[in-house]
Amino acid sequence: MEKDSARITLRPITDADRTDCLALLRDNTINRTYLLPDFENDEAAMPLFCRLRDLSADPAHFVRAVSLDGRMIGFVNDVMIKGVTAEVGYVIRPDLHNHGYGTEALRLTLDALFARGFETVRAGFFEENAASRRVMEKNGMTPTGEEETIDWRGAAHRCLYYAIRREDAR
């Protein structure tokens, strides 16, 4: 199932996305705020690429490439599915930040998940990642009051959670 906005498409990840996806998985800017392991090389990142590709074909999960002009510029994925609640994560290639692609990708994700019958969609972000918070707020997500401290890359990060219910979505 593909979902389109005026500029991007959410679609399954394919073998043709390998180079772009591996670059995302190994990007130092992305892995400062998205919980990805450090991959020494593309070969080390290949199992995660394969897992994302395979999960994108599994109807029990929501994993999609964010595609611009046919090229993978990011991805969205379910972090957790519990009953009628889905938690998602998303990344966009750093050189394309501040162009609205993350906001569009999350909007398409919310639409797709609500269409699948989910009642609530939530996402977390490190407090210092103001851009991710803005993406959530632009999509109508609000603070849940939940937070946790996550030790990541040698530092403690306060992780805050936002959510939106289907009836509150635009």
Task: Residue 158: give its domain's CATH number.
Answer: 3.40.630.30
Containing domain of residue 43, as a range? 3-168
Q: How far apart are the first and last CA of the chain?
A: 21
- Whether 38 shows a pLDDT value over 70: the answer reads yes
pLDDT class of 1 with cuts at 50, 70, 90: low
pLDDT class of 169 with cuts at 50, 70, 90: confident
Structural domains in the chain (count): 1
Strand ranges for 41-100 from DSSP E: 63-68, 71-82, 85-92
Rounded alpha-carbon distances, angstroms, from residue 27 to 38, 60, 85, 91: 9, 28, 29, 11
pLDDT top residue among 169 and 67: 67
The CA radius of gyration of the chain, in Å to the nearest whole number, is 15
- Whether 4 shows a pLDDT value over 70: the answer reads no
**Number of Cβ atoms within 10 Å of the Cβ of 50:** 14
pLDDT top residue among 101 and 2: 101
- Whether 5 shows a pLDDT value over 80: the answer reads no
Q: 169 burial class (0-12, 13-18, 19+ CB within 10 angstroms)? A: middle
Give 55-88 pLDDT, tens digit per residue: 999 999 999 999 999 999 999 999 999 999 999 9
